[in-house]
Amino acid sequence: MQGNKPSWLERPLMRVILSLIAIVVPFLLRQELAIQFGVVLPPFTIFYLAILIVALSAGLWPGVLATAFATFLVDVWVFPPIGSPAIVNSTQGVSMVLFFVTGVLMSVVAESYRQKQRKIAALEKEKALHENEEKHRNLFEALIEGFCVIEVIFDGYQRPVDYQFLEVNPSFEKQTGLRDVKGKLIRELVPDHEAHWFEIYGRVAQTGEPTRFENEAESLNRWFEGFAYRIGGPESRKVAILFSDITERKQAQDAILRSETLASLGRMSAAIAKEIDSPLNSAAKMLYQARVNEQCPKPVQGYLKEAEQELSHIAELTRRALGFYRESNTPALVRMNTVLQSAMGLMKHRIRAKRAVLDSEWNEPMEMFAVASELRQVFCNLLANSLDAIDEHGTVRFRMTTGTDWKSGQKSVRIVVADNGRGISKDLQKRIFEPFYTTKETVGTGLGLWFAKQVVAKHLGTISVRSNTGGPRRGTIVLVVLPLNVAPAGAAIDKPVSAATEALAGL
């Protein structure tokens, strides 16, 4: 490569030429001074500076060569006989030997000085490189984003099939969840790694075009966005990647999208309920008229009575749907007894269908400043989860008591929803409050407990779950603790309100 070629001064031939020119110039100057001005300088004095310059700039051997050439010129053109290299007396010989030895010593000293300067320059360069490397290393390790350098591996058909980690920063592990990756292949760490990541990095390695990406890594259960670019020339297969984990942002976007969908469904269900309410009432009246008709046979009257009861149930659900849709979301002083009773009333048909035993207990009326509809939905969700977990004839316990925080002295209401169902494993308990995480497969949305946690936190409370999957204590206990607030002046006591529909209770 051109950057590795020696400079012109480091080439042997150029050193020789420089040495000779450096001696010829002062020699000609000495001769010219003698001819023009009659100034005769000592034979060797004018050459010392030239030898020193040659030795400092070109090195030891060019300095020795310049000394020898100067000695030759003086012997031939300064000492008599002029034009002859002969030494006529011992004085000339001693002078020439002393000059040569002095020139060699000057060259040795100059070379020693050059070596020391080189060492100093090398040390300073190494120090500067070290400081620069340390600065980049600190910056590299301080990055909040994940950063890594990989080498893409291609098969015989130039298709990217794997990549090896060459360098990673500390944030890499936090962003990806992978540990001890340096020097390893991604296939070793994640055997089922998605092909689209190989395509992205392979394209960058082959074309050298920087690429932005935003993709899901299903094998890591994460979403990433970032920037990838090639390091090195066209033959290089190394790619640097700067990326961020955007999983939470994606989940939030999905939550917003789904909540908007649910809101649309709520509006649509309210509209449908309004439209079918009148026909249902008319049908119920006609069934009643048919049933009380004296000409109607007894068996048919029984069937008509059952049909009338079912239509009444449907009409009740539509009225509840309309009441829930129109209900205010403004905080008010509510009776918790009323909220819990309305939640139980909403779930009574599911309780009856499961033939479950509902054991409820709350004595004294408790009031707190809250949004009744949101809290009722929380307890509907908890009851629905318990009903899904128990077998037929299972038991669900509903308890409400008051307590006092021993640290703050704050009074609170404690609501416990417990069941003797199949329980939740330890691994699943870590994720049950995540949005869209469900163990009910196709019948659950994964929003019930997430919604419950958001509402409880909004009311400055806490929610916790304890569960066992086996043994005499099999089942799940959910504890909701809500602070009892003093009602502000002018706050109206909450009136009994219509409950949500069963469909929304199963979130």
Answer yes or no: do 437 and 478 share one domain.
yes
DSSP string, 62-79: HHHHHHHHHHHHHHHHTS
Predicted local distance difference test score (pLDDT) of residue 502: 35
Answer yes or no: do 271 and 239 share one domain.
no
Answer yes or no: do 385 and 480 share one domain.
yes
Q: Which residues are within 8 A (CB) of 57 and not within 5 positions of it... i.e. 6 or more apart?
A: 9, 18
Rounded distance between C-alpha atoms, residue 413 and residue 417, angstroms: 13
Answer yes or no: do 236 and 377 share one domain.
no
Predicted local distance difference test score (pLDDT) of residue 450: 80
User: Total structural domains in the chain?
Assistant: 4
Provide the Cα torsion 280, 283, 285, 288; round to 10°. -120
Of the residues 100, 115, 137, the one at which a domain ends: 137
Answer yes or no: do 496 and 431 share one domain.
yes
Predicted local distance difference test score (pLDDT) of residue 329: 62
Residue indicated by tokens 């040390």: 123
Closest CA to 213 of 232, 200, 203: 200
Question: How many CB atoms sit inside 10 A of residue 444's CB?
Answer: 17
Predicted TM-score (pTM) of this structure: 0.43
Bridge partner residues of 150 (DSSP): 165, 239
Answer yes or no: do 66 and 21 share one domain.
yes
Answer yes or no: do 6 and 130 share one domain.
yes
Rounded distance between C-alpha atoms, residue 464 and residue 452, angstroms: 11
Answer yes or no: do 120 and 151 share one domain.
no
* Residue 149: its H or E element: strand 146-154
Predicted local distance difference test score (pLDDT) of residue 406: 72
Provide the Cα torsion 245, 251, 256, 259; round to 10°. 180
Of the residues 88, 110, 137, the one at which a domain ends: 137
Rounded distance between C-alpha atoms, residue 75 and residue 67, angstroms: 12
Answer yes or no: do 65 and 178 share one domain.
no
Predicted local distance difference test score (pLDDT) of residue 326: 53
Predicted local distance difference test score (pLDDT) of residue 236: 93
Domain carrying residue 228? 146-245
What is the full per-residue pLDDT of the chain (507 aa) written as tens digits? 444 555 656 678 888 888 888 888 888 888 888 888 888 888 888 888 899 988 888 888 888 999 999 998 888 888 888 878 878 788 888 888 999 999 999 999 999 999 999 999 999 988 888 887 777 677 777 778 899 999 999 998 889 999 999 999 888 988 898 989 999 999 999 999 899 999 999 999 999 999 999 988 888 889 999 999 999 888 999 999 999 999 888 888 877 776 677 666 666 766 776 677 677 777 777 777 787 777 788 777 777 777 877 777 677 666 655 555 555 566 788 888 888 888 888 788 788 888 888 888 887 778 888 888 788 888 888 888 888 888 888 888 888 888 887 777 778 888 899 998 888 887 787 777 776 666 665 555 566 788 788 888 888 888 888 888 888 788 889 999 888 864 443 444 343 333 333 333 333
Predicted local distance difference test score (pLDDT) of residue 503: 36
Answer yes or no: do 195 and 315 share one domain.
no
CATH number at residue 210: 3.30.450.20
Answer yes or no: do 379 and 495 share one domain.
yes
Rounded distance between C-alpha atoms, residue 235 and residue 151, angstroms: 12
CATH number at residue 453: 3.30.565.10
Of the residues 245, 274, 299, the one at which a domain ends: 245
Gap between the terminal Cα atoms of the chain: 68
Answer yes or no: do 365 and 490 share one domain.
yes
